[in-house]
């Protein structure tokens, strides 16, 4: 009898569909951000647009999510926000009405090696507001306080630094921001 390849073919098709969905989601976030940046070239307008995207979703996500481990639109929004924001702006964002913005702002300050990070951490350790969390293939709810103590679930210094370097060095990215 000939081997049954239909199971393998279905698995491959599912992987392709998941990959295409992730690429489409990333494309939509980037194009909406980039088209907004083209219409309003000021850095602050871009920061506010990215904050709005994060506020609307109220999700903190690791870089690689889903079956294919693709970068998430949430991680891209955070990374672009981090590339544009000063430490003072990130510090202000730790008081934002959105739990996701507060946690991402804290992660940004950790990334930037903010001098007074322990003071910020202490203030957020009492923050019991809920947000959604995506870590790889796992989706769950967490609090800002728990997120502050487990940022390694969403933050990887090497990949974040690498992407930020790409943004800073790539003229195409820089002209859009």
- Encode the chain (177 residues) as per-residue pLDDT tens digits: 544 444 444 445 454 555 555 554 454 455 444 544 443 468 889 899 999 999 999 999 888 776 677 777 888 899 999 999 999 999 999 999 999 999 999 999 999 999 999 999 999 999 999 999 988 888 899 999 999 999 998 888 998 898 888 888 876 655 554
Cα–Cα distance, 25 to 168 (Å, whole number): 23
pLDDT for 16:
52
pLDDT for 71:
77
pLDDT for 18:
52
pLDDT for 93:
97
pLDDT for 163:
86
Please name the residue that has the structure tokens 């796992």.
138
Report pTM.
0.74
pLDDT for 19:
52
- Cα 149 to chain centroid distance, Å, stands at 18
The closest alpha carbon to 77, from 44, 109, 33, 19, belongs to 33
Strands 59-65 and 130-136: parallel
pLDDT for 132:
94
CA R_g for the chain: 18
Cα–Cα distance, 78 to 121 (Å, whole number): 19
Cα–Cα distance, 19 to 155 (Å, whole number): 22
Describe the strand order of the beta sheet including 70-71 as a list of residue ranges.
70-71, 59-65, 130-136, 138-143
Please name the residue that has the structure tokens 């081997």.
3
């Amino acid at each position: 009898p000939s081997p049954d390849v239909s199971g393998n073919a279905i698995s491959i098709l599912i992987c392709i569909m998941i990959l295409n969905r992730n690429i489409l989601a990333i494309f939509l976030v980037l194009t909406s951000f980039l088209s907004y940046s083209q219409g309003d070239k000021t850095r602050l307008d871009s920061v506010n647009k990215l904050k709005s995207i994060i506020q609307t979703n109220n999700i903190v996500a690791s870089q690689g999510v889903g079956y294919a481990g693709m970068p998430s639109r949430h991680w891209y929004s955070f990374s672009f926000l981090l590339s544009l924001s000063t430490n003072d702006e990130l510090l202000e964002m730790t008081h934002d009405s959105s739990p996701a913005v507060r946690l991402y702002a804290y992660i940004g300050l950790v990334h930037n090696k903010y001098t007074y990070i322990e003071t910020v951490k202490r203030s957020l350790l009492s923050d019991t507001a809920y947000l959604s969390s995506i870590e790889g293939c796992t989706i769950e709810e967490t609090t800002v306080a728990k997120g502050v103590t487990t940022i390694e679930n969403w933050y990887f210094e090497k990949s974040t630094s690498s992407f930020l370097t790409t943004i800073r060095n790539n003229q195409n990215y820089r002209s859009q921001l």
